[in-house]
Each structure stands twice: as C-alpha cells, then as structure tokens.
C-alpha cells in the first residue's frame, strides 16, 4: 500500500489496523482475539475501535469514557468545588466570574461624556479643575476620538449611537487614530487603535498589586454566571454523574425539605442498598434535624455569610445530632434567634432529645418558653455591666418564679409584664399616609403589593424564610436610601414604590458594631465626647495653658500619649500565636500624656471621664444640657451601665443597636423619618425590651414610622399594625397572609403568628 508522507510538525490522527478476524467458535479464535485486543489497546493507549461490516464502529476504552469524554475515578474529592479535582477550572469553583459592567462604568445615561457620564473619565472633565487643560496621555486620546472619529461628547450618553458606545467601551479593533501628545517630557504624534475602556479597566484590575487600586476597579465590576459550568461550580464530567436523574448540584440546589424528601424517596436494592444504606441514614438524620429546628426553607447551597447567627448555630448543632454522642457539654448562645414561635417548639424538642440521650446543655437565652422548658435556671444580675455579675437566683423554673430577688422570675410569673396598649395609634388619625411597594418579586416574594401605614409602629412577621428581610432590607430600604440619600445599594425586584414624598429620611438601625477597633466607643459614636472636649477646653486652667479642643482627642498628636498613639495599650505580636495587648507603660492605659491629665473637672481628668458609666457621667455633668441630653438618651434605651470609653469591640449586638438608636434620639427630629430595625430584641431581657418599646413609642409619637422585623410576641402585641408573610418559608412563602392591627391578625386562621397572638390577646376569633 502507498504510505502517505506526514508533516513533521503537525498533530495527526492515525488508525492502525491490528488484525482482521472472522468469528469462529473455537479456542484458536478466542486466543487470537485476546492477543489482538491486548495489542490494539497497547498501541492505542487504552483505546481501540472495533470495525464490524455493515455496522457502526464500536469505540472501546480501558478508561471510564463515553461519547469522547474520559471520566475520572469517582472519589469524594471530585464532587467538591473546593478541590482542584472537582472545581470548574474557569471559575475555580466559585460559580461566578467578575467582569466589567457597562452600567456601572456609565451609571447615569442622561449625562454627556463632558458632564462626567463615564466615571473613569470624569476627572478629565469636571472633577478637578487642573484637568481642564490636561495634556496627559488619557486626555490626548479622548481629544483624538472626539475630533477624528466625530464622537459627540456634549450629548447625553443614551443618545449616542450603539456604534459609538461600542467603540468607546470595547475598542476600535483595526480602526486607528492619531494622538497628538504634548507632555512635559514627550511630544509627538502617535498612531494607534483604541483598546476600549472596559478592556483597559479589566487589564489594570488584573495587573495591579495595589489593594486600593483593586478596590477602585472592582467598583465597576459585576459577578456573572460562569459560562463553562453555568454557575454549578464543578467540572462538566462530574455533573454527568446522576442519582435518579439528579446531579450533586441539582440536589444541593434543593431546600432542606426537598432534599429530605428526595433522600427518603430513593428506592435502592441489592448492592446499591447495601453500599448506600448507612450514608443515607446519616444524611436523612441531619436533614431531619434541620427540618425540626425550622430551617427547612434554606437551600443547601446557601452561602455562609447570608445566614443569621441563629441559623448558623442550628446548622452547627445539626452536625452533632447525627453522631448521637453522649456525655457531651453543649453551649448555645440564644439559639432561638430568628425563630418563629412555631419553630421554637421544634427546637426545644430537639434539645430535649440531646439531653435525654445523656448530654448536658447550657443555653444563654432570654426566650420565655425556653426558660420554662429548662430543668435549671441560673439568673445573673441584678443589673447590667458593673451593676451585675452576681448570681441572683438559681433553681428550677418554679423556684426562680418564687424568688422575689429575681426580675426574670417576676416576668415569668406575670407580676411584671410588657403591657398591651389600651389604645393603638390609628393610621387615619395620623394623616392616612402610606408607603406602597408594588409587585415585589425578589427571591421568594410572589409579586406582592404591600401597603405600610406611616406614623405607626409596624411589625413584619412570619415564619423563618417567609420573605420578611427580602421585603424590607432588600427592597424597601435600598429603594428609599437611593431616593432620599443617593445610595448605590442594589434594590430587589419590584415595579415601583408609592408615597416616597411623605418621608425625608430612612435609617436602618442594625446590630452591626459601631466600630471595628478599640478606638471606637459610645462617647465618640454618639458625639457626646465632642461636647465633653469642648467643655474641657473652656476650663480656666485649660485656657491659661492655651489648650484647644484637639488637646483632648486621643486620635491626634498634642494631648495623647505618643508611646501608644492614644490606644492605652501596646500590641505585642506573637507571630505563631494571637497578638497580645498590654497596658502602655508610659500612660498606664490612660491614653493621654501627663500634661493633659493635669486638667481636671471636679477631680476627674479626661481619661477618668471615659472610664465613667453613663449614669455616673450624667450625675457629673448634670448642669450641662448639651452633654446630658445625649447621656439621657443612652439611659432611656437601658444603657446606663456602659462606660463612655468602652471599646466598641466589647459591645454586644443589642448594645450596639441601642447606642445607634440613642444617637438618633439625640438628633433634632423632623417627624418624617422611617426607622427600620431587624430583630432588635436579640440579646435583650424582658425589662430591656420594655425600655426599647418605650423609646420606639417616642419616635412614633413624634410622627415618625418604625418598621420592625420581629418574632418576639411581646413586641408584636404592642404594634399598631402587622404585616404577616407566609404561609411557610422558602418557595412556600412570599405571600401576604394578613395585615392589620394585632387583633385582626389574631382572628386569621391561616396565620401562624395570629395563632400565638390569640393566646396573648385573649381573642376568641369571632
């Protein structure tokens, strides 16, 4: 046969004929067939083709392959997007790719380029006057594009042709321009193409080593679904492994309830059942626990940062339940956070089970039902901060109820209580003004239209996952912040919001820390320290020495201790261990230098003032209204015990939220503000909840609106208006079940919230 000459430097697909056989029924044929197959697989690196006359070729392989795809050995690691063996190589298992977003590069399309429509070019035209006669390389290119390509920089961006927009953003390809560059060092004409702003930004983002530059460029980026894995995070060949026509990512995209039903519905037999039986038991036990503690609405692939503290804690507890360990001490900090009363009962049953199999559970909790279901209570008090730290009572719930020293016991017996308002505020009496969210459809919301009365205390209720946070935190707050404060927060899907003209301010009072460093404290956050520094600067001795307000700041040179830069402590790096903070040897932790500490008021230096509690400071400055006004608001929200200079890092979420509330109370009120609070009772004792409600009532009496996302029935029963979502969580939620005063909700048979409200309000449902 003629042998074809092959090019040396090219890849070729070569098929080698190893043998030609005619099927016979004898041992000689079988031996020859075996030898031929072995030779073919050896020559073909584990692959061979069987060519049969009159039939399609049969491709065979020693590897796990089909349809031209080779599959790896099925080991657990290939099903993990955190392992190089399983992760999608394009997005490294993240499921999304960051790319430049033209809408972020040009956010306001009503502006022209010269008016600053294109943010990265804004400096060249309006932001800094020195750019007006700029001869930089960037400005020289823009001039060339305007003059030579005829792009109009003076008409709104939206009126530019698609061709011109694409040219500016994505480049000119082969189209060239002549750039006349006359800088201080270089002059001349340069012919070049335009790279395109989108490509330039992406190139600079990838090449820069500066964190500041990366942050700047990332502001123009959007995460989009990875086209290679379609957001499923794993290699395609891994996604071809199915159980009941479901890949592993199909299963993890299910809610806990759906996954539980899927696992329970698997009918395996023979070896499959033998292999999977123990695994399926472990999986169903853990999923069953998540269902029992009210997390059946969560999808299995929900990202960790989006979970609430209570959700995270219950998920960690789920990992323990399947093990059925005994003799373990479990410590839980408010596991009822974010739980509706209906689901709280399920959680208590699970905790009882852990106890009954031989474990001990210590729970830090303020929930009444949890306390009454416990075997032993340790009540610490009597007050908070320096007023607490003592064991007031301990014993069974009945013993705590009978102890006159226990405030907790008094609330459990009903001797002290949060009263139901005798008369609720009426929306008609408050001007009959409403905010209306039209056709909200973000996440699981079912195209709902919600009317919120203004001037009232409004609670948004419903089981976990019903859509409360989506409605308020992802739609209402970002939309109002964008309209009233020019915020750039992402707004969830909805048609429109009516009634915005009734408000002039929206404030989200959350439980995030008031600061990330020990320098932040209640005094600086509420601005009371500014007034205290003003006061110290006016003292006779301070004036005699020429000290100004800045002398009493621990953030600037002059009055602070320079050895510790005003921190009061020195950080000692321990390399392989956690850093250690030791008191500054120079100022002994007082933050200020000796000369500054010599200025005193009634025997108190500026450092001593920071170590006073709010109550002590209130007494000291009783005759100074600017200071006492702010201190009074801190006392009103139940924070009389905290120190003015207490580090922000040592404050609880509830304390941080109340400090934020106190700062708002101290401001001049307009009566047209909307306040949003998400579960403000987290970490609060009954008495603290009562104080909080008094403060919120002050806000609404002034004409403001307060919206609270809440499960606490003591708060819900005091509301003027309730919006109840449900009926369930996740895909089974997102609908309006009922809205109106608490008495109306209590009469709704489909409302889980109404069911528990009825017991408190003594409604008969008629």
pLDDT in tens, 353-386: 899 999 999 999 999 999 999 999 999 999 887 7
Strand order of the sheet with strand 735-740? 505-508, 673-678, 705-709, 457-461, 721-726, 735-740
pLDDT score recorded for residue 544: 95
8 A C-beta contact, residue 570 and residue 582 = yes
Span 433-451, pLDDT tens digits: 999 999 999 988 999 999 9
pLDDT score recorded for residue 131: 43
In degrees and rounded to multiples of 5, residue 508 shows phi and psi of -100, 110
> Is residue 738 pLDDT above 80, yes or no?
yes
**pLDDT band at 128, cuts 50/70/90?**
low
Domains of the chain plus CATH, in order, are 27-62 (no CATH), 98-225 (1.10.8.280), 434-511+673-761 (3.40.50.300), 522-626 (1.20.1580.10)
pLDDT score recorded for residue 766: 40
Span 310-353, pLDDT tens digits: 678 788 877 776 677 899 999 998 888 888 888 888 889 889 98
Helices marked H in 177-308 — which ranges? Answer: 197-207, 211-218, 236-239, 248-252, 256-264, 270-292
Diameter of the chain measured on Cα atoms: 120
> Is residue 299 pLDDT above 60, yes or no?
yes
**Parallel/antiparallel/unpaired status of strands 360-364 and 329-333:** parallel
> Is residue 179 pLDDT above 60, yes or no?
yes
Q: Please state, in angstroms and rounded to a whole number, the distance separating the CA atoms of residues 443 and 456.
A: 27
Q: Please state, in angstroms and rounded to a whole number, the distance separating the CA atoms of residues 223 and 306.
A: 17
Percent of the chain scored above 90 by pLDDT? Answer: 56
8 A C-beta contact, residue 567 and residue 573 = no
Q: Which residues contact 246 (CB under 8 A, 6 or more apart)?
A: 262
> Is residue 255 pLDDT above 70, yes or no?
yes
pLDDT score recorded for residue 130: 46
Q: What value does the mean pLDDT of the chain take?
A: 89
pLDDT score recorded for residue 765: 41
For the CA atoms of the chain, what is the radius of gyration? Answer: 35
Give me 231's structure tokens. Answer: 């957001």
8 A C-beta contact, residue 296 and residue 260 = yes
Q: Please state, in angstroms and rounded to a whole number, the distance separating the CA atoms of residues 89 and 710.
A: 43
pLDDT score recorded for residue 322: 63
Q: How far is CA 209 from CA 197, 205, 446, in A?
A: 20, 9, 45
Top-confidence residue, 4 or 18: 18
Number of CB atoms found within 10 A of residue 172's CB: 17
Which of 3-7, 237-241, 490-494, 597-601 bottoms out in mean pLDDT, i.e. has the lowest? 3-7
DSSP of 589-638: T--B-HHHHT--BTTB-HHHHHTSBHHHHHHHTTT-HHHHHHHHHHHHTT
- 740 closest CA partner among 451, 341, 502: 451
Top-confidence residue, 607 or 432: 607
> Is residue 552 pLDDT above 80, yes or no?
yes
Q: H or E element: which one contains 498? A: strand 496-498
Q: Please state, in angstroms and rounded to a whole number, the distance separating the CA atoms of residues 755 and 757.
A: 6
Q: How far is CA 24 from CA 27, 28, 31, 57, 289, in A?
A: 9, 9, 11, 20, 63
Span 622-648, pLDDT tens digits: 999 999 999 999 998 889 999 999 999
pLDDT score recorded for residue 129: 47
8 A C-beta contact, residue 662 and residue 637 = yes
Angle (nearest 5°) at CA 338 between 333 and 343: 100
**pLDDT band at 304, cuts 50/70/90?**
confident
End-to-end CA distance of the chain: 100
Report the pLDDT averaged over residues 566-591.
Answer: 87
Q: Please state, in angstroms and rounded to a whole number, the distance separating the CA atoms of residues 253 and 742.
A: 37
> Is residue 430 pLDDT above 80, yes or no?
no
In degrees and rounded to multiples of 5, residue 438 shows phi and psi of -100, 125
Top-confidence residue, 26 or 463: 463
Q: How far is CA 134 from CA 118, 254, 562, in A?
A: 17, 57, 43
> Is residue 65 pLDDT above 50, yes or no?
yes
pLDDT score recorded for residue 141: 86
Report the pLDDT averaged over residues 479-507.
Answer: 91
Report the pLDDT averaged over residues 490-505.
Answer: 92
Number of CB atoms found within 10 A of residue 303's CB: 7
Report the pLDDT averaged over residues 561-570.
Answer: 92
Percent of the chain scored above 70 by pLDDT? Answer: 97
Helices marked H in 111-235 — which ranges? Answer: 122, 137-148, 162-170, 197-207, 211-218
Q: How far is CA 498 from CA 207, 268, 458, 480, 508, in A?
A: 46, 55, 17, 11, 20
**pLDDT band at 527, cuts 50/70/90?**
very high
> Is residue 392 pLDDT above 60, yes or no?
yes
Going by the DSSP 8-state scheme, the letter that residue 766 receives in this structure is -
pLDDT score recorded for residue 764: 42
Which of left, alpha, beta for 690 (phi over 0: left; psi -120 to 50: alpha)? alpha
Span 209-226, pLDDT tens digits: 888 898 899 889 988 889
> Is 575 exposed, middle or buried (CB count within 10 Å of its CB: 0-12, 13-18, 19+)?
exposed
């Amino acid at each position: 046969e003629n042998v074809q000459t092959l090019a040396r430097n090219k890849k070729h697909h070569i098929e080698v004929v190893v043998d030609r056989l005619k099927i016979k029924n004898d041992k000689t044929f079988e031996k020859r067939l075996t030898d031929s197959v072995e030779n073919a697989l050896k020559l073909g690196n584990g692959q061979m083709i069987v060519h049969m006359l009159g039939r399609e070729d049969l491709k065979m392989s020693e590897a796990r392959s089909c349809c031209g795809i080779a599959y790896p050995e099925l080991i657990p690691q290939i099903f993990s997007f955190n392992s190089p063996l399983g992760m999608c190589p394009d997005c490294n298992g993240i499921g999304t790719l960051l790319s430049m977003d033209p809408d972020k590069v040009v956010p306001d399309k009503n502006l022209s380029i010269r008016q600053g429509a294109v943010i990265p070019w804004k400096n060249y035209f309006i932001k800094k006057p020195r750019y007006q006669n700029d001869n930089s390389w960037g400005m020289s290119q823009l001039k060339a594009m305007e003059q030579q390509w005829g792009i109009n920089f003076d008409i709104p961006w939206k009126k530019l042709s698609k061709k011109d927009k694409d040219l500016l953003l994505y480049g000119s390809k082969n189209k060239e321009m002549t750039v006349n560059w006359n800088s201080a060092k270089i002059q001349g004409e340069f012919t070049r193409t335009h790279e395109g702003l989108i490509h330039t930004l992406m190139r600079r983002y990838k090449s820069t080593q500066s964190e500041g530059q990366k942050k700047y460029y990332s502001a123009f980026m959007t995460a989009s679904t990875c086209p290679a894995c379609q957001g499923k995070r794993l290699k395609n060949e891994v996604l071809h492994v199915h159980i009941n026509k479901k890949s592993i990512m199909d299963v993890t995209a299910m809610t806990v309830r759906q996954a539980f039903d899927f696992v329970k519905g698997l009918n395996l037999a023979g070896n499959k059942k033998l292999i999977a039986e123990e695994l399926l038991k472990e999986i169903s036990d853990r999923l069953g626990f998540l269902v029992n503690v009210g997390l059946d609405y969560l999808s299995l692939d929900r990202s960790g940062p989006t979970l609430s503290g209570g959700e995270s804690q219950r998920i960690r507890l789920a990992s323990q339940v399947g093990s059925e360990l005994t003799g373990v001490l479990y410590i839980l900090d408010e596991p009822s956070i974010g739980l509706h009363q209906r689901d709280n009962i399920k959680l208590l049953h699970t905790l009882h089970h852990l106890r009954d199999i031989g474990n001990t559970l210590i729970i830090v909790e303020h929930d009444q039902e949890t306390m009454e279901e416990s075997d032993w209570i340790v009540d610490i008090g009597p007050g908070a901060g320096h007023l607490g730290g003592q064991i007031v009572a301990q014993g069974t719930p009945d013993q705590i109820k009978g102890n006159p020293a226990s405030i907790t016991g008094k609330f459990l017996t009903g001797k002290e209580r949060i009263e139901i308002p005798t008369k609720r505020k009426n929306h008609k009496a408050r001007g009959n003004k409403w905010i209306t969210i039209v056709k909200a459809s973000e996440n699981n919301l079912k195209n709902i239209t919600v009317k919120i009365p203004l001037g009232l205390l409004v609670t948004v209720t419903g089981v976990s996952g019903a859509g409360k946070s989506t409605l308020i935190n992802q739609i209402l707050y970002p939309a109002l912040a964008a309209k009233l404060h020019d915020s750039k927060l992402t707004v969830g899907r909805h048609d429109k919001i009516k009634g915005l003209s009734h408000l002039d301010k929206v404030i989200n009072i959350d439980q995030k820390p008031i600061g990330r460093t020990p320098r932040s404290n209640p005094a600086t956050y509420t601005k009371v320290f500014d007034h205290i520094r003003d006061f110290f600067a006016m003292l006779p001795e301070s004036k005699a020495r020429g000290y100004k307000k800045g002398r009493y700041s621990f953030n600037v040179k002059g009055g602070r201790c320079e050895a510790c830069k005003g921190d009061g402590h020195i950080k000692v790096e321990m390399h392989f261990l956690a850093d250690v903070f030791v008191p500054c040897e120079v100022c002994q932790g007082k933050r200020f230098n000796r000369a500054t500490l010599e200025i005193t008021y009634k025997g108190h230096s500026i450092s001593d003032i920071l170590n006073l509690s709010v109550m002590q400071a209130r007494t000291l400055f009783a005759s100074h209204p600017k200071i006492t006004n702010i201190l009074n608001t801190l006392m009103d929200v139940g924070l009389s015990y905290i120190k003015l200079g207490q580090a922000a890092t040592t404050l609880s979420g509830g304390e941080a939220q109340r400090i934020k509330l106190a700062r708002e109370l101290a401001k001049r009120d307009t009566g047209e503000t909307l306040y949003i609070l998400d579960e403000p009772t987290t970490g609060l004792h009954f008495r603290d909840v009562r104080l909080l409600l008094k403060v919120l009532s002050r806000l609404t009496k002034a004409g403001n609106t307060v919206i609270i996302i809440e499960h606490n029935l003591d708060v819900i029963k005091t509301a003027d208006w309730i919006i109840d979502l449900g009926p369930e969580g996740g895909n089974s939620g997102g609908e309006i079940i009922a809205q109106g005063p608490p008495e109306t909700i209590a009469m709704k048979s489909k409302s889980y919230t109404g069911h528990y409200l009825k017991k408190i309000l003594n409604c008969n449902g008629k």
